[in-house]
A = this chain, B = another copy of it.
Amino acid sequence: MSDHIVSAFTDELDKLAADILRMGGIVETMILDASAAVDGNDLDLAREVVARDPEVDQLEAEIERQIVSLIARRQPMAHDLRAVFAALKVVGELERIGDLSKNIAKRTQRLDKIVGPAMRRGIVRMASPVSRQLNMVLDAYATGNAAAAKAVWEGDDDIDQHYNSLFREMLTYMIEDPRTIGAGAHMLFIAKNLERIGDHCTNIAEFVYFQATGDNLLSTERPKTPQIDG
């Protein structure tokens, strides 16, 4: 294969990675804005987050088309094929993170005044390490850093512990004041969505690790707190 063709292929891979990182940036903002909307009962901000989701879906569709066309034209092998495959999986994970953030934003409208500031703060406290996980795993993807990906993967245990304690805390609010049960149920789903966003970051970490090393993280031991609900 001539240098010209090889370099054109590398350019295409770089463009792909750049698009994915852009998509990741939008999605990261969605997590932070959605939880800020919960915290401040900010319905305008919640609507903005919801309005950003179609852009994420469109980016996913565009990037997928790019990937399929790249596989068909370039017939990548070995490391290149791993890179293209990882891109395909990462973009799917990011779309789901966007979707979960949108769902958090939508639920903001259902919380009403009965959900006090203490319960709302808990969401922001959890969203902060979750969005940091996404930020770190996107860095690991950008630099192909397997060790950094592994660190994110191991960090998910903190998120799970956070979720367990938030889940218990919310149940106590609901038991103390049954008028909060309806809104409290939405708060439980919001916390669960954050926990699932953490899982998607872990999935991304696995694909980054696989792309960089050809090995599977799942064969390693991971510190794991038993989850309160599954």
Q: Which residues of A contact B (CB under 8 A)?
A: 64, 68, 71-73, 75-76, 81, 84-85, 88, 92, 103, 106-107, 110, 167, 171, 174-175, 178, 181-182, 185-186, 188-189, 192, 229-230
A167 to chain B minimum Cβ distance, whole angstroms, is 8
- Docked Cα-Cα span, A171 to B178, in Å, equals 10
Q: Are A110 and B229 in contact (CB under 8 A)?
A: yes
Q: Are B230 and A106 in contact (CB under 8 A)?
A: yes
In the assembled complex, which residues on chain B have CB atoms less than 8 Å from the CB atom of A167? 185
A185 to chain B minimum Cβ distance, whole angstroms, is 6
In the assembled complex, which residues on chain B have CB atoms less than 8 Å from the CB atom of A229? 106-107, 110, 185-186, 189
Q: Is the interface of A mostly helix, strand, loop or mixed?
A: helix
The answer, among B64, B84, B171, for a CB contact under 8 Å with A182, is B171
- Docked Cα-Cα span, A174 to B81, in Å, equals 52
For the complex of A and B, list the 3 residue pairs with the smallest distance between their C-beta atoms, beginning with the closest. A106-B230, A72-B75, A71-B71
- Docked Cα-Cα span, A181 to B107, in Å, equals 20
The answer, among B64, B73, B75, B185, for a CB contact under 8 Å with A188, is B185
Q: Are A73 and B75 in contact (CB under 8 A)?
A: yes
Q: Are A181 and B174 in contact (CB under 8 A)?
A: yes
In the assembled complex, which residues on chain B have CB atoms less than 8 Å from the CB atom of A73? 75
In the assembled complex, which residues on chain B have CB atoms less than 8 Å from the CB atom of A171? 181-182, 185
- Docked Cα-Cα span, A102 to B130, in Å, equals 24
A186 to chain B minimum Cβ distance, whole angstroms, is 6
- Docked Cα-Cα span, A108 to B71, in Å, equals 43
Question: Which residue, of A68, A88, A92, A106, has the highest number of chain B Cβ atoms within 10 A?
Answer: A68
- Docked Cα-Cα span, A71 to B88, in Å, equals 13
A89 to chain B minimum Cβ distance, whole angstroms, is 9
- Docked Cα-Cα span, A186 to B228, in Å, equals 10
The answer, among B64, B68, B107, B182, for a CB contact under 8 Å with A71, is B68
A216 to chain B minimum Cβ distance, whole angstroms, is 10
